[in-house]
A and B are shown apart, each in its own frame.
Chain A
Amino acid sequence: MSMRKHRFTSKKRKHIPTKYLLLVLSFVCVISIFTGLVFNISGGPLSAVAGYVFVPMQTGINNIGQWTSKKVNNFKTLSEVLEENEELKKQIDDLTNELTVSRMESYEVDNYREILKLDELYPGYEKIAASVVASDNNNWFDVFTINRGSNSGIEVGMNVLAGSGLAGIVISVSPNFATVRSVIDDANNVSAMVTTTGDNFNVSGNLQLMKEDQVITFSELRDTKGKVSIGDPVVTSYVSDQYEQGILIGYINSIEENSNGLTKSGTITPVVDFEHIQTVLVILNVKETSE
């Protein structure tokens, strides 16, 4: 300690007393939280530095993890693999059949589209693949980071897909990583639409229900004719100001009538397996809102 004091005496300011330092740091935090709240900005250069330090290491660890789990999987017995092979062959047959049917249907749809000139409604957005490198540091939220950021053209508000379903939305970007909030996060809300009737409603993540039954909730469904049923696909709605329309979220798991008798609420089973997301696709387009 004596040595330290000697070194700092030249600067006249010896040592900021601990309680002042506490006040200063608290003040910095509070200011930063408020600027974040008001101006909606994220870390800037600071998070860029953090990204360059941590993301390569996280990627490395994940690669090692994937490599080991692959090696472990190699020990699966031959009989298991053969059995799986049989099943998969059957699945291929089924899927080929389905494909033929849907090809015929899509030919029809193409025709209609040409007639109605609907093409501009369904532009093929450019997508970019990214790997999930790290998950949230606490157990309250469902937020993860991916190994691509603004250097790859990712911006805040872009939609993130995993497989064919909606995984989440980009909430902050740095040059080499981006943070994604998943659909099942407790604080997340999506305007959605049930495909069978076209009714719009609100889908929100729920930590408790996700932990207990692996479902998320929906509310304010106005299904006056009672046509919506369990198993109906739910996609993102055209009224959403954040999500591109028509991305599959999940399937209706349960429906309840609200006490007001006008609207319904219930639960949805998401299509994405959030526990095992490894790669995602980011749609390189931010939905333009008519503001």
Chain B
Amino acid sequence: MRLRRTIVVFIIIALCFLLQTTVFQALSFANISPNLLIIVVSSFGFMRGSREGMIIGFVCGLIADLFFGFYIGIYALLYLYTGFINGLFQKNFYPDDIKLPILLISGSDVICNLLIYFFLFLLRGRFQILYYLRAIILPELVYTLIVTIVLYFVLLKVNQWLEEKEKRSAKKFDL
């Protein structure tokens, strides 16, 4: 059922947002915390396709905007496209292969951070891109990847469980 998926995905988003803004802020290394939302957006993108990816991205971004954004819509726009572009790789996605997820999640994290750097830092005259790469973007990538190894499998299992349930209820309707 559609409703079940919506509720489950929303709970996942809420949990990740809560963890990211509280627990992982306390567990930060050198003031760097992992980006759980990008893992969720990216994973649902390549597991479920562009449509779901971008809706989930939009919702994740909107929540981040409502709490921390300078202007509502910046993160929503960023994650919207993250979800959409990750969704384009759905046809290359096989659940047993971890290479593509790792690659896509890393790519999403780095590109999102580069965009944030470009629009919110470079345009204000902060030109030391190498510094920001070394001090923020790379450490965040490493930490995010470490968390990915756990979180991705949780998301994969949840998604497989949802798809199983959906298949069954679809069969019931056909009969």
Contact = CB atoms under 8 A, between A and B. Distances in A.
Interface in B75-92: 75-77, 80-81, 84
Interface stretch (A76-84, A140-148, A227-235): A140-148
B72 A25 contact: no
B17 A29 contact: no
Given A32-B73, A33-B72, A43-B72, A133 B22 contact: yes
Interface stretch (B31-39, B97-105, B148-156): B31-39
A32 B71 contact: yes
Contacts of A37: 71
A99 interface: no
Which secondary structure dominates where chain A touches chain B?
helix
Contacts of B33: 139
B18 A29 contact: no
A131 B30 CA distance: 23
Interface in B1-57: 2, 14, 17-18, 20-23, 25-26, 30-33, 35, 37, 50-51, 54-55
B66 interface: yes
A52 B169 CA distance: 34
B135 A208 contact: yes
Nearest to A48: B66
A82 to B, nearest CB: 29
A111 B160 CA distance: 76
Interface stretch (A57-65, A89-97, A157-165, A193-201): A57-65
Contacts of B66: 43, 46-47, 50-51, 174
Contact of B51 (A18, A33, A51, A207): A18
A29 B80 contact: yes
Contact of B67 (A21, A28, A36, A145): A145
B22 A42 contact: no
B117 A21 contact: no
B136 to A, nearest CB: 5
Nearest to A143: B68
B68 A179 contact: yes
A136 interface: yes
B44 to A, nearest CB: 14
A281 interface: no
B31 A211 contact: yes
B173 interface: yes
Interface in B108-122: 113, 116-117, 120-121
Given A138-B113, A138-B116, A211-B135, 5 more contacts: A4-B2, A18-B84, A37-B71, A139-B140, A211-B31
Closest 3 CB pairs of A and B: A36-B71, A32-B73, A134-B21
Interface of B: 2, 14, 17-18, 20-23, 25-26, 30-33, 35, 37, 50-51, 54-55, 58, 61-68, 70-77, 80-81, 84, 113, 116-117, 120-121, 124, 126, 128, 131-132, 135-136, 139-140, 170, 173
16 contacts: A3-B173, A18-B50, A18-B51, A18-B84, A21-B55, A26-B77, A33-B72, A33-B77, A36-B73, A42-B72, A43-B66, A58-B18, A136-B68, A139-B31, A207-B126, A207-B136
